[in-house]
Amino acid sequence: MIPPALLLLFFFVLPMLVMGSFSFRAGSFGAERQIWTLDNYRDFLASTSFQRLLLKSILVALRTSLYCVVLAYPAAYYLVFRAGAKRSTLLTLILAPAWTSFLLRILSWKMILSSEGLLSSLLLSLGLIEEGRPILLYSMNAVIVALIYSWLPFVALPIFAALQRIDKSLLEAAADLGCPPWKAFLRVTLPLSLPGVAAGFFFIFIPTLGEWVTPALVGGVDGVMYGNIIQSQFVSALNWPMGSLMSLVMLLLMLIILGALSRFAYLLPLEEAK
């Protein structure tokens, strides 16, 4: 375990310690960098706008993760239990968009939702609108749509793997005992697939909470997230201490939420078994 432990030490633990030390500095450069202070913590606690934006970003990440799970589960279920010989082809089609550039995919959604984009042109041809105008663009809904499109394949994969590991004889036994298909799904398939659901949920929640590229491209002013403020603190304002503090606060809240959700995902199958 020494090689992975060293990698974790140098590329995670040490950067976190450096970031933590920066959060106590008075400034980013020069003499101020050598001054230790708690002013950054006081400023953050006094800024309700930062706290509201963090809460907003948590809710957006939760919504995006839930929507991805709801959309990915039926697709993964179909691939495992209904697709048959077409499984490999359909799985490749699901993963194909993920092989292109993430930035290119977000820019494509910006073009689709623009005033001259595909969606606006379609509504204009159907007579639903009188002139071309942006549809959802520069809003939080546009951010959520783009995030769902970008991350959906990565949710389907762990759910697909979990469903594929289910012993089909358990479903046959349930049918032999008179269990209807819908009840067999709720009592057998769904509980056994929850580890894959939880893995897919966490895989989306973690990166979307700190997302800043997608809100910057399709969100506009109404779609700003917590990650955009962190990025501006490091790049535009050059306020590395505040950016470090905001990053650590986000990491701490993320760990608390993931711990609570992991506990729930662990206890739910036990309750189903009872």
- Per-residue pLDDT at 113 exceeds 80: yes
Instruction: Name all contacts of 187-191 with Cβ < 8 Å and 24+ positions apart.
Output: 187/272, 189/77, 189/163, 191/268, 191/269, 191/272, 191/273
pLDDT band at 79 (very low <50, low <70, confident <90, very high): very high
The answer, yes or no, to whether residue 271 has pLDDT greater than 60, is no
Q: pLDDT band at 60, cuts 50/70/90?
A: very high
pTM of the full structure: 0.85
The overall average pLDDT reported for the chain is 87
Phi and psi at residue 154, to the nearest 5°: -75, -15
What are the residue ranges of helices labelled H in 98-239? 102-112, 118-125, 140-164, 168-176, 181-184, 190-209, 213-214, 226-235
Q: Which residue is listed with tokens 């663009």?
A: 137
Residue 33 has pLDDT above 90, yes or no: no
What is the C-alpha to C-alpha distance for residues 272 and 117, in angstroms, rounded to an integer?
47
Can you tell me whether residue 25 is helix, strand or coil? strand
Question: 27 versus 189: which is more confidently predicted?
Answer: 189
Q: Which domains does the chain have, with CATH numbers?
A: 36-273 (1.10.3720.10)
Average confidence (pLDDT) over 33-43: 90
